């Protein structure tokens, strides 16, 4: 049977030859083991370098508006993109928010088996010892100079992949994969559920504590497809919302702004968490927001083009208990 990776290569070759796309955004293997990196391919580039494996973690939608704008230059141009469930929801979000047109993009959906958290594996071995990596249905097999070790895939997934509800893209032009790992109904995770169950004061304490690690590098913002503003509120000077210091109050202000801008937009792809060099557990806060939006408005972002995002619309029965009267 043809591997999914060969299927992707053959499809991209065909799409280029039929002139259905002019550029493709996919993955290639990284220079370090257990990692991949985004690969931007034009028709004359080496398609054999394209990769698909359980380490294809980037949400590639983040590059789409810039690649489309650059290629387009006034003419029509179609950009092909490989989308896991969460990535495809980001693409839908970008189209809904008018950052792209549906005609600009050819979505190659892929049924996502869940992505492996490289850091979980590297907490058990040293990357410099790795000689070869292979995988079967259940395991990642790592070979060293003097032995080998198997890692059960399901024990080494990213937090956001553990109970992912939307592994199969809802919107695509063509779909690769057998659809077996489609949605389940479990939401959130134990860690997020425990955090949500705490009192407001306890949650604030954890929020503050977690953010003491932040160095305000903005990698979380840069990795997120929803953060496409040409001028981010964090860098605006007129008005200046907060200072460029590493005081906790400034850090908190940035994060409150970033997190609330994600309401009804975050697809829980985990890109911001993976980008953070300080291991700030941003998912605690964004995932809680995802659950809150779902509970209040019954809305999951990026599943279709029709449903209006809750923060852009108003219903007479919307809960309003947060609105307080001056005493």
Output the smallest distance, CB 204 to ligand SF4, in A. 17
Residue with tokens 């109970």: 163
Q: Does the footprint of ligand SF4 cover residue 33 (CB under 6 A)?
A: no
Contacts of 211 (CB under 8 A, 6+ apart): 248, 251, 252, 255, 280
| For ligand SF4, the closer CB: 154 or 319 | 154
For ligand SF4, the closer of residues 16 and 270 by Cβ is: 270
Please work out the total of residues on this chain that contact ligand SF4, with binding judged by CB under 6 A.
35
Alpha helices in the chain (DSSP H): 4-17, 64-72, 85-96, 118-122, 159-162, 190-196, 200-211, 219-222, 248-260, 271-275, 283-297
**Residue closer to ligand SF4, measured from CB, 144 or 207:** 207
CB atoms within 10 A of CB 86: 25
Site string for ligand SF4, 211-240 (x = CB under 6 A): ---xxxxxxx--xx-x--------------
Interface residue with ligand SF4 among 15, 92, 160, 293 (CB under 6 A) is 160
**CA 96, CA 308: separation in Å to the nearest integer?**
9
The residue (of 58 and 78) whose beta carbon lies closer to ligand SF4 is 58
Minimum distance of ligand SF4 from residue 124's CB (angstroms): 21
Out of 60, 115, 140, 284, point to the residue binding ligand SF4 (CB under 6 A): 115
Q: Which is nearer to ligand SF4, 77 or 108 (CB)?
A: 108
Binding mask 273-292 for ligand SF4 (x = CB under 6 A): --xxxx-x-x---x------
114 binds ligand SF4 (CB under 6 A): yes
Q: In terms of CB distance, is 68 or 227 closer to ligand SF4?
A: 227
Token pair 């810039």 is found at: 66
* Whole-number Å distance between alpha carbons of 54 and 19: 29
Decide if residue 177 touches ligand SF4 (CB under 6 A): no
Q: Cα separation of 273 and 189, whole Å?
A: 15
Q: How far is the CB of 201 from ligand SF4 (least distance, A)?
A: 22
Report the run of H or E that residue 168 belongs to, with start and end.
none
Q: What is the nearest approach in angstroms of ligand SF4 to the Cβ of residue 13?
A: 25
- Quick count: other Cβ atoms within 10 Å of Cβ 50? 22
Q: Which residues bind ligand SF4 (CB under 6 A)?
A: 84-86, 112, 114-115, 160-161, 164, 167, 214-220, 223-224, 226, 262, 266-272, 275-278, 280, 282, 286
């Amino acid at each position: 049977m043809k591997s999914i990776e060969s299927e992707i290569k053959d499809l991209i070759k065909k799409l280029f030859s039929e002139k259905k796309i002019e550029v493709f955004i996919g993955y290639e293997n990284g220079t370090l083991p257990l990692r991949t990196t985004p690969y931007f391919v034009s028709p004359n580039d080496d398609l054999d370098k394209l990769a698909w494996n359980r380490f294809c973690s980037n949400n590639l939608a983040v590059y789409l508006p810039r690649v489309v704008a650059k290629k387009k230059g006034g003419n029509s141009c179609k950009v092909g993109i490989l989308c896991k469930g969460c990535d495809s929801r980001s693409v839908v979000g970008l189209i809904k928010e008018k950052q792209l047109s549906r005609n600009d993009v050819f979505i190659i959906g892929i049924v996502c088996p869940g992505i492996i958290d490289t850091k979980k594996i590297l907490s058990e071995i040293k990357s410099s010892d790795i000689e070869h990596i292979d995988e079967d249905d259940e395991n990642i097999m790592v070979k060293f100079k003097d032995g080998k070790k198997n890692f059960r895939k399901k024990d080494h997934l990213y937090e956001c992949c553990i109970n992912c509800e939307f592994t199969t893209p809802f919107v695509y032009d063509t779909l690769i994969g057998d659809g077996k790992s489609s949605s389940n109904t479990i939401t959130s995770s134990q860690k997020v559920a425990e955090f949500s169950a705490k009192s407001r004061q306890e949650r604030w304490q954890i929020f503050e504590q977690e953010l003491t690690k932040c160095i305000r590098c903005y990698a979380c913002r840069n990795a997120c497809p929803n953060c496409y503003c040409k001028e981010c509120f964090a860098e605006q000077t007129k008005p200046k919302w907060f200072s460029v210091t590493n005081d906790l109050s400034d850090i908190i202000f940035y994060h409150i702004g970033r997190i609330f801008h994600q309401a009804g937009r975050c697809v829980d792809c985990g890109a911001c968490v993976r980008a953070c060099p300080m291991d700030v557990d941003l998912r605690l806060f964004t995932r809680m927001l995802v659950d809150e939006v779902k509970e209040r408005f019954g809305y999951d972002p990026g599943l279709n083009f029709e449903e209006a995002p809750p923060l852009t619309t108003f219903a007479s029965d919307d809960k309003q208990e947060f609105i307080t009267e001056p005493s």
